[in-house]
């Protein structure tokens, strides 16, 4: 059974011997392993029951992260300088040090510098990067607390480094540079608006594939076990007393105990930070189904809608 604690020393020793350590980040908790150790990387896939075709993101400190990229386009470096540590993953051509087990056979790798003091202290102590997908069973709701990790993976991993609640609450934004054109492949905790303030216009090409080329792009992902539906208007759903409703900030004309606001202030960042914890709460409740309404397509509303879309994918017809 996993041990939960705050010891960097213990986490370092486990990782050095090829073990698994859940690490806190500002986005969600990651399941860390030595990214240069093939056996350790395969343990990550096994613990999560993650398909081998879904690549992992590699984490390190800002001064070391580009050691695992063959080339770094100018705009990628500018964006990294402005955002890292932060919720940004850059897809770059990998060096030969990064095994294909990490990248699912691709010649590119996702690189990130997380913005969490414990994670950065840990990465500073290591002479290898960490592969660290979200620390949860594949396709289930991502964890934003150490307790979430323990509840799902307590028998699968060695140690959970407890860094409190994740502040952003949804995964990093992923950007690639095909022919040096910046393209967003996964919406996340860094908004399009904030990216464009730094490097100008970016393309957005969101994948919903059963065979993803970037992490977190599977058609069904971040999903509760209960039936979940995403609507543009709640009138699309025939109401009953077993239904829970997720709103952004509006108040519905139903019993208060069946409506759950992501942010009473209409704050996108508060909504993102609350999303996964709320989905887990409702999945463990007595409600029989969950209905959510799309947020406005701006700021982090885009990324939240992306997560809700994937979470409800198994119940969307003709998609």
pLDDT of residue 213 exceeding 70, the answer is: no
pLDDT exceeds cutoff 60 at 318: no
Third-level CATH fold of 228-315? Rossmann fold (3.40.50)
The pTM is what?
0.93
Q: What is the mean pLDDT of residues 226-230?
A: 96
pLDDT value for 179: 83
Smallest CA-to-CA distance from 189 within 173, 206, 205 is with: 173
pLDDT of amino acid 313: 86
- Any idea what DSSP says for residue 94? B
The mean per-residue pLDDT over the stretch 126-141 comes to 96
Average pLDDT over every residue of 22-39: 98
Cβ atoms 310, 206 nearer than 8 A: no
Please say if the pLDDT value at position 14 is more than 60: yes
| Span 257-305, pLDDT tens digits | 999 999 999 999 999 999 999 999 999 999 999 999 999 999 999 999 9
Tell me which architecture the domain covering 3-204 has in CATH. Alpha-Beta Complex (3.90)
Least confident piece of the model among 161-165, 191-195, 299-303, 309-313: 309-313
Confidence of residue 222 (pLDDT cuts 50, 70, 90): confident
Tokens of 2: 């996993």
Strand-strand pairing, 88-93 and 108-112:
antiparallel
In this structure, of 55-59, 95-99, 192-196, 238-242, the range with the lowest mean pLDDT score is: 238-242
Amino acid 167: pLDDT: 97
Inform me whether the pLDDT recorded for 319 exceeds 50. Answer: no
In the three-class reduction of DSSP (H, G, I as helix; E, B as strand; rest coil), residue 278 is classed as: helix
Contact call for residues 183 and 271 (beta carbons, < 8 A)? no
Q: Where are the domains of the chain?
A: 3-204, 228-315
Position 180 scores a pLDDT of 82
Over the chain, what is the mean pLDDT? 94
Q: Inform me whether the pLDDT recorded for 178 exceeds 90.
A: no
The answer for residues whose C-beta is within 8 angstroms of residue 170's C-beta and 6 or more apart is: 27, 28, 142, 188, 189, 272, 275, 276, 300, 303, 304, 307
């Amino acid at each position: 059974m996993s041990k939960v604690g705050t010891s960097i020393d213990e986490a370092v020793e486990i990782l050095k011997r090829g073990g698994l350590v859940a690490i806190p980040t500002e986005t969600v908790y990651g399941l860390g392993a030595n990214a240069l150790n093939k056996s350790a990387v395969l343990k990550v896939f096994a613990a999560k029951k993650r398909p081998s075709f879904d690549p992992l993101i590699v984490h390190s400190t800002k001064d070391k992260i580009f050691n695992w990229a063959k080339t770094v386009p100018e705009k990628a470096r500018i964006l990294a300088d402005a955002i890292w540590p932060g919720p940004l993953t850059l897809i770059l051509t990998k060096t030969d040090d990064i095994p294909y087990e990490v990248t699912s056979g691709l010649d590119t790798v996702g690189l990130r510098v997380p913005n969490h003091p414990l994670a950065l202290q840990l990465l500073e102590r290591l002479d290898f990067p960490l592969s660290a997908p979200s620390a949860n069973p594949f396709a289930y709701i991502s964890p934003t607390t150490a307790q979430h990790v323990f509840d799902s993976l307590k028998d699968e991993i060695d140690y959970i480094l407890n860094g409190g609640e994740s502040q952003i609450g949804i995964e990093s934004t992923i950007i690639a540079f095909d022919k040096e054109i910046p393209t967003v492949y996964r919406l996340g905790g860094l908004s399009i608006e904030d990216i464009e303030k730094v490097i100008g216009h970016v393309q957005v090409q969101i994948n919903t594939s059963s065979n993803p080329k970037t992490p977190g792009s599977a058609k069904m992902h971040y999903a509760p076990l209960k039936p979940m539906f995403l609507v543009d208007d709640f009138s699309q759903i025939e109401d009953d007393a077993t239904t829970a409703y997720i709103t952004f900030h509006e108040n519905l004309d139903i019993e208060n105990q069946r409506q759950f606001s992501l942010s009473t202030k209409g704050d996108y960042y508060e909504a993102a930070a609350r999303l996964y914890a709320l989905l887990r709460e409702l999945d463990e409740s007595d409600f029989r189904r969950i209905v959510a309404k799309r947020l406005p397509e701006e700021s982090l509303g885009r990324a939240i809608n992306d997560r809700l879309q994937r979470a409800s994918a198994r119940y969307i017809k003709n998609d």
